[in-house]
Chains A and B, each alone.
Chain A
Amino acid sequence: MPSPSNYREFPPAPFLAASVECFWTSTEPGASRQPSFHRVLPDRCIDLLFDFMAAGAQRASVIGTMTRPLTFATTGPVDLLGVRFRPGGLSGFLAMDAADLTDSRADLSHYWGRLAQETWNRLGEATTANRVCLLQAALGARARGRPQVDPFVRHCVARIEATSGGLGVGDLERSTGLSLRQLERKFARDLGISPKTFARVVRFKGVAALAGGPHPPDWAGVAGRFGYADQSHLVREFKAFSGRTPENYRAGTHDTP
């Protein structure tokens, strides 16, 4: 019997909305001695993570853009606070190359120095209700005077999301006036993945959203509509990003906990 977990998202205040998708908390009392398993799927975002149950380097981390699922087990209580940046939104808060972080987790103190541990301390001392507010203020202070989301990156991200990942690279070149090489450099720096990979993850997210319906979707039709070569292409990509075929994923979402 998995231990009960509570996951919440909070929208950002307007002054952070251009860079931050949401704040989130996850808590588990961890009363049962059985480990609970979690699978986190690629969501095309970079997160800062504060773990109030952890020690040392695990306390404050940056989780890079994932291109594969992350499965981990927890035993004991869970008390997490995260910031999910919009694609490209990290650049105002961390001076770094996002490509270094793709599919990995780094200690935030590498980028924030002592401020990482100090922020963790202040958040840890606060009540759960105040943590999001405090973190929001801390990020706001840090963002002042720093570069915001690169407008070319923002434009490409918006166009790829509006077409559920079906947009061709040629269209991005035409609409930005930049070459693919230039766009790839910007995406590598701010997102850590190429425009093509970003489009594939956005497409996967769109397909996964369809899996939650009452009837099995017409997967061949979905494959065509989202721009996969065929149904087996859809299944391959879905499995690469989620660890399961679309049907097993559907079955998983409908299981009672």
Chain B
Amino acid sequence: MTKRLLSSVCLLLIAGAAIASDAVNQTLKPTGTPMNPPSVSLGYVILYVKDVPASLAFYEAAFGLSRRFFNDDNGKAYGELETGAARLGFASLELAKAQLKRDAVTVSLDKAPGFEIALVTPDVPALYARAVKAGATAVSGPETKPWGQTVAYVRDNAGHVVELCTPVP
């Protein structure tokens, strides 16, 4: 008899607790709209070059990257490398001109272009050696920065500045 009473009291208590906790949950439940992922993200960096196959081949040899896509429509050529979420691509000058309705400026080796491509890799000295071996112009060898990143700089076959760096933790 006592047990039944106890258990029913317990049930009431539990029920009460449940109801109470529902009430608590209600007040704690977030009322705002959930955070959306950013609707804008970097999808591609596309370099305008004279020779898209040569650039693709150079990046494959120098950095061990592989090709995602290549299309040559009678001189309007476009190719893409597998570089993670943001893709590195190359468009021929003819393709760029068709899009922009004007000639594109290519980089020149006697000046530095106004941008760089940074490739992230765990072993910068090895990738730097591989790139230089494949014909990349050495700019500066691997060095460790005060913030802990190891960086090196080369220029690709078309003169673009490519930084090789370790990931920032």
Residues in A lying within 8 Å of B, measured CB to CB: 4-11, 22, 161-164, 166, 202, 205-215, 217, 222, 225-226, 253-254, 256-257
8 contacts between A and B (CB under 8 A): A4-B74, A5-B74, A7-B72, A11-B66, A209-B55, A212-B157, A214-B50, A253-B50
Q: Which of A7, A161, A162, A213 has the most CB of B within 10 A?
A: A213
**Of the candidates A11, A161, A209, A214, which one forms a contact with B69 in the assembled complex, judged by CB atoms under 8 Å apart?**
A11
With CB as the reference atom, state the residue of chain A lying closest to B53.
A212
Whether the Cβ atoms of B108 and A209 lie closer than 8 Å is no
Whether the Cβ atoms of B75 and A256 lie closer than 8 Å is yes
Whether the Cβ atoms of B61 and A212 lie closer than 8 Å is no
Whether the Cβ atoms of B50 and A225 lie closer than 8 Å is no
Q: Which of B51, B64, B71 has the most CB of A within 10 A?
A: B51
A225 to B108, CA, bound (A): 22
B95 at the interface (CB under 8 A from A): no
Whether the Cβ atoms of A9 and B157 lie closer than 8 Å is no
**Of the candidates B64, B71, B108, which one forms a contact with A8 in the assembled complex, judged by CB atoms under 8 Å apart?**
B71
- Residues of A with C-beta under 8 A to B158: 212-214
B14 at the interface (CB under 8 A from A): no
Q: How large is the interface on B (under 10, 10 to 19, 20 to 34, 35 or more residues)?
A: 35 or more
A201 to B105, CA, bound (A): 33
Interface residues of B in 132-161 (CB under 8 A from A): 132-135, 157-159
Whether the Cβ atoms of A206 and B66 lie closer than 8 Å is no
A213 to B58, CA, bound (A): 10
A171 to B96, CA, bound (A): 44
Whether the Cβ atoms of A22 and B73 lie closer than 8 Å is no
- Residues of A with C-beta under 8 A to B67: 9, 11, 22
Known: A210-B135, A214-B159, A226-B135. A8 touches B130 (CB 8 A): no
Q: Which of B73, B74, B79 has the most CB of A within 10 A?
A: B74
- Residues of A with C-beta under 8 A to B66: 11
With CB as the reference atom, state the residue of chain A lying closest to B110.
A215
Interface residues of B in 3-51 (CB under 8 A from A): 49-51
A4 to B70, CA, bound (A): 16
